[in-house]
A and B are shown apart, each in its own frame.
Chain A
Amino acid sequence: MVLLALGCGPDHAVVRLLDADPARDGAEGRLGPHGVAATWRRYPARVTEVVHTRVYWPVDVGGALAVTDAPGMLLVQGGRVAVERYDWLAAHLASRGYAVVAPDHPLDLAFFETGNALDAWTGAVDDADAPFAGLLSEDGPAAIGGHSLGGVVAAIDWVRDERFDALCLLASYPAAGTDVAARAGSPVLSIVGAEDGASRPATVREGFERFAEPRWYAEVDGLTHYGWTDGATEAEREGDGVPTRPEADARADAMAVVDTFLDAVLTLDPEAAARLEAGAFSGVEVSR
């Protein structure tokens, strides 16, 4: 009975993070019109293990799928940052029509089980019983990204797995041993806060220089390292930089670049591609 309870028990309930609102235009940096639902799922890994995975997807007013298929984003958590602390970011993307898959790792340290992310992605794509079933596909457009330590792991997985068309690093850079040249030609966005006290912009820029074109580097005015996460602790703030403007403003500007990048490389939106090429963003310095 215990086995049955543990092995076949219900998944976590579906929660509504955001209600649908057709008045939201979904312009880069702003929420899209879709509502956002999220839930935890369990996917197999290494034959006998399980990866707890939080999945976010766009829904309509009634809670049904708002789109029939969605570009995907595999998001890897930063070190010692719980997955839920990225709810705001995942909800932002999902409101614009993206599906986001965010795997959990032991002790919230992604380098302990770097394969969890790829197993979680496979599980989510194949999950026929999930409320988001069919939204993601094996050969659909997808990016992988991560914050801080999660970006280090995301870069490793991006090199190893060509299911991901692009890499999005948030306050992060690749480890020295990651052979980023192996994915030359796959678009990369590296974005960091100018006030990041943990992943210093100079270090992030140095790591960015290892990537081949097409690549974009973005530095967000006033944004700190933990500005990418909700619920930063006092200790995290003490080791970080000092924000020089309201966090909501810095996040909106940062997400304008992230949205434009994803729209350009995943949905092949020509207007987004043109904006990205122009590199003119409010509150963010973008360079190649």
Chain B
Amino acid sequence: MTALWWVALALAEPAVLRDAAEGPRWAAAVGTDGVGVGAWLPSGLGLAADVPWSGATVGVSAGGAWGRTRGRGRLEAGVAGGPLGLLVDPGIGLAASAWAGGGLDAERVDLRARVVVPAAVRLGPDPAWRLPVQLEPHLGVTVGAVEVGVAAALGATFAAVQAPALVADARLLVGLRR
């Protein structure tokens, strides 16, 4: 069993860390929802930042990811959470992400899928919450120390006093493995 602990300077969800749960030294992602970068310290602690194109939020989150590999099969899970700054209608919130999934992990190719719940709440006099549930397939190809991956997210966001809304994002990831 491997463990990766990190502290994330992230927005509502450090998506780049989910894609890079294998533990590269650094990773960068560009997606339809925003951009993200992450870097890991030798101790296993890591930092990451995500910026949504909307500029709606900014936050800090901390958490961990765990993985187990058996043959070519792999299971993984993670959690993250922390304070969230809301910029459009200024306020403070909390973000909490959890994910779990698995897939095939070959020498140069990995194919995984995970279920992700990147929840968030708004605190204060005008409280609100969101609870997205999304499926994320991820395909990665490793050449030397470099992993290039593509990931997508599809699901629904449940929110207070709202009808469910579609989640549909895609991102390209480039990472440097240890």
Contacts and interface: CB of A to CB of B under 8 A. Distances in A.
Interface string B152-178: 000001010011011010000000000
B57 A48 contact: yes
A42 B88 contact: yes
B128 A47 contact: yes
B74 interface: no
B25 interface: no
B51 A48 contact: no
B128 A6 contact: no
B166 A44 contact: no
Q: Interface size class for chain A?
A: 20 to 34
A257 B165 CA distance: 33
A123 B128 CA distance: 14
A44 B160 CA distance: 13
Given A7-B87, A7-B88, A50-B88, A44 B56 contact: yes
A106 B54 CA distance: 13
A235 B7 CA distance: 51
Interface in B112-165: 120-122, 128-130, 157, 159, 162-163, 165
A179 B165 CA distance: 19
A156 interface: yes
Contacts of B165: 45-46, 112-116
Contact of B162 (A5, A9, A118, A123): A118
Contacts of B54: 6, 42, 49-50
Contacts of B121: 47
Contacts of B73: none
Given A48-B130, A49-B54, A112 B166 contact: yes
Interface string B31-63: 000000000000000000001111111100000
A7 B122 CA distance: 17
B30 interface: no
Nearest to B122: A47
Contacts, number: 85
Contacts of A50: 54-56, 88
Interface in A108-126: 112-116, 118-119, 123
A6 B49 CA distance: 15
A6 B163 contact: no
Given A5-B55, A6-B53, A47-B159, A113 B166 contact: yes
Given A7-B56, A112-B168, A113-B165, A46 B159 contact: yes
A47 B130 contact: yes
B111 interface: no
A47 B93 contact: yes
Given A50-B54, A106-B166, 20 more contacts: A3-B55, A6-B51, A7-B55, A7-B57, A8-B87, A42-B88, A43-B89, A44-B56, A45-B165, A46-B159, A47-B93, A47-B128, A48-B57, A48-B93, A48-B95, A48-B120, A48-B130, A50-B88, A113-B165, A115-B159
Interface of A: 2-3, 5-9, 42-50, 106, 112-116, 118-119, 123, 156, 160
Interface of B: 11-12, 51-58, 84, 86-89, 93, 95, 120-122, 128-130, 157, 159, 162-163, 165-166, 168
24 contacts: A2-B51, A3-B51, A6-B53, A6-B54, A7-B56, A7-B88, A8-B87, A42-B54, A44-B89, A45-B162, A47-B12, A47-B120, A47-B122, A48-B56, A48-B57, A48-B130, A49-B54, A49-B56, A50-B56, A112-B165, A112-B168, A114-B165, A115-B163, A156-B163
What 4 pairs between A and B have smallest CB-CB spacing?
A: A6-B55, A7-B87, A7-B55, A115-B162
